[in-house]
Structure 1
């Protein structure tokens, strides 16, 4: 099984919590998420987006010769 960072775990935890409250929605259709597996997938996707954004800002650009 894959190991996830603490940030990823936190995003998944928040997504599951929102699903249980009925506040987690899917895309443009705005339908409620009822499947816990789908909530986990959404949480991991959001965590990946956040890590991609932060890693882009931290890495210096490569120099071309």
Structure 2
């Protein structure tokens, strides 16, 4: 299993999606879980790549945060 926690510090958009897809293509584990960033535009970019590859997601937006990047728990 691979857990992906990337995209929070990158500007959302096509460049981010292409970069994430390229990284994902290199992963050979059967199960991949993406942590969706608090930023909704970045979360949509990450989720779109997860969807293409049939991967799971965990939305960090469900958890409280002080800095809108890191969950408190």
Q: In proportion to residue count, which structure has more strand?
A: 2
Q: In proportion to residue count, which structure has more helix?
A: 1
Structure-2-length-normalised TM-score? 0.27
